[in-house]
Chains A and B, each alone.
Chain A
Amino acid sequence: MMGANNILPLFVIISLAGAFLTSIIGKRLKWFSDIMGSLTTLILFVLSLLAVRIVNTQGVVVYSVGAWKPPFGIAMVLDGFAAFMLVTVNLVAFSIAVYSINYMEKFTSKWKFYTLFLLMVGGMNGVVITGDMFNLFVFLEIASVASYALVAFGTERHELEAAFKYAVMSTLGSLFILLSIALLYSYTSTLNMADMATVLAEKGPKNITLMVSVLFIMGFGLKAALVPFHAWLPDAHPSAPAPISAMLSGVLIKSLGVYTLCRIFYNVIGMSPTISSILMFLGALSMVIGGLLAIGQWDFKRLLAYSSISQIGYIVLGIGLGTPLGILGGLFHLFNHSVFKSLLFLNSGAVEYSTGTRDLQQMGGLSKKMPVTSATNIIASMSITGIPPFSGFWSKLLIIIAAVQAGRYGYAFLAVLVSVLTLAMYMKVLKYAFFGSLREKWSQIKEVPFFMKLSMGTLAFICLVGGVLFLRSVSGVFLRPASEALLEGIKYAAIVLKGGQ
């Protein structure tokens, strides 16, 4: 049977094959791992664009692994939301692979980096594409284990300490997720998400659904670094090499945390007002606390990491509102954030590459020496703070309007307030790092090599034109199917089971 659904397993296969080939050949041929890393992620990116087209022409596509029809076998499901996440993950992965060609020169074994990197991309693509509960857990762990190793990649004191903390916290999160999967399996006797949704809808709400929901919020909240569970993020993200910080903050916490939260609460368990208000509360809390903590930081990457917590808050707030506009805004912000936060981390990497420091107080006047880095940093900063023509403005605006429409004036007010905080923290970065007079000791530094500039330039361009996604014709292709996939709620089950036959 040849059909559009054969594209689905490719997202996992290609990245895993890339990781495997890099690990056996890259050790001997130095150039091979560079080519392999960029080529694999480029292919995945093109495939994900193709996936968006497939969703628009054919609707939801289901692939049954090993021809075991759902609900018995493992199903892979491509719907609007999955296609949206695939584009986000693979776009960021591609630009980071290009950036790493130059950046990772200073580390000794580049092929190990690319192997782990591709393994992580494979895990994330798997989480997004799978329609099976336990399979989701497996891919989640693949991505997580690769990321523990990547955080510790520098094997210096701070890297190791952060990696250990991250690994223990994240394993605890995974255990909660596995526990809730076990409880759900014992209650519904199925692992297929669509089938599970049907059974849960038939049996009606019981205490066990509540218990499972709480465990899922704890587990995925730990992965997404929502505020009571955020302690590992400000250590882990700055300690990793810059491309990996960009990957972790840009897409890992979203595909492992936010995507899974949305998928399970909207499409499997079904959204209830209680869950919705819990998510909104956690979102608003992350938004405010992350913002307040970020302002006081002097380490460039640590500031960005706290700002990630704050922006994840926006996304969860938007999605937690549960209104069509709120979900649309949340997803739009998710895409925008993964682009500009990766760009900001890549900028911090570029600064570290040239000057060797991450301390904002040590920098100053770098815009004269590093025009591309500072220009892209200004674009990303404006985008994240929400200055009108840039992409971040539209998504924040949507979230705030949605909160007002839903009658949540307090949350809308907080969102505006944190936007001002964000402006303050990025003005601080620009002022101390890029503007002002150049220090004597930086008079010899150079702009970063070509591939780093290329990757930063591409991401900056997307920030600049990201507002286009908001136009009716474009959002109808990309954003709207994603938010509709969430809005149809537990009708997801019927669509997937029909598609699998």
Chain B
Amino acid sequence: MTIYLLCLVLFSLGVYCMLRKRNIIKIIVGVIIAEYAVNLFFILVAYRMEGRAPIFSPEAEIVNMVDPLPQALVLTSIVIGLATTAVLVAIAMRIYEKYGTFDITKIRELRG
């Protein structure tokens, strides 16, 4: 249970970072942290303590295997996270070129 709570703390930290920080780079770091927390959670829900790799062989008995599917999924999700981060960083670099600052309180020409 504790481990899930820690995972939640990590996620909340990421979201807090996204919502409260004023520096664009810190916001991007927040996005990454939140992403990792979700990935970690996905791994955790399928993980068993003291589990073993799910490889069938004649002598091994089928007990306590780790579900391999979420690990494959999380691999995909990490790659997607990489793409998102790359786009975010690229945009952040261009923003710095145009505005000369990373402070979002100074980058406020549009009002939602």
A interface residues (Cβ-Cβ under 8 A, vs B): 134, 137-138, 141, 144-145, 148-149, 152, 155-158, 160-165, 167-168, 171-172, 174-175, 178-179, 182-183, 185-186, 191, 231-232, 234-235, 239
Contacts and interface: CB of A to CB of B under 8 A. Distances in A.
Q: Would you list the 10 A-B pairs with minimal beta carbon distance, nearest first?
A: A186-B45, A231-B112, A182-B42, A235-B110, A141-B80, A160-B95, A157-B98, A164-B91, A148-B87, A160-B94
Chain B: number of interface residues, binned into ranges: 20 to 34
A134 B73 contact: yes
Contacts of A182: 38, 41-42, 45, 70
B112 A234 contact: yes
Interface class of chain B by DSSP: helix
A234 B70 CA distance: 36
Given A155-B94, A232-B112, A172 B84 contact: no
Given A145-B83, A145-B84, A185-B42, 15 more contacts: A138-B80, A145-B87, A148-B84, A157-B109, A160-B98, A164-B92, A167-B84, A171-B35, A171-B88, A175-B38, A178-B38, A185-B45, A185-B46, A231-B112, A234-B112
Greatest chain A CB density within 10 A among B69, B77, B92, B99 is at: B77
B18 A172 contact: yes
Contacts of B6: none
A179 B112 contact: no
Given A149-B87, A168-B18, A179 B110 contact: no
A70 B80 CA distance: 25
B76 A164 contact: no
B27 interface: yes
25 contacts: A134-B73, A138-B80, A141-B80, A145-B80, A148-B87, A148-B88, A148-B91, A149-B87, A152-B91, A160-B94, A160-B95, A161-B107, A161-B108, A161-B110, A162-B110, A165-B110, A165-B112, A168-B18, A171-B35, A171-B88, A178-B77, A183-B45, A185-B45, A186-B45, A235-B110
Contacts of A179: 11, 38, 41
Nearest to B77: A178
Greatest chain B CB density within 10 A among A161, A165, A183, A191 is at: A161
A232 B18 CA distance: 14
Contacts of B10: none
B70 A185 contact: yes
Greatest chain B CB density within 10 A among A137, A160, A163, A235 is at: A160
B15 interface: yes
A241 B95 CA distance: 18
Contacts of B46: 185-186
A158 B109 CA distance: 7
Contact of A161 (B35, B70, B95): B95
Interface string B65-97: 000011001001100100110011001101100
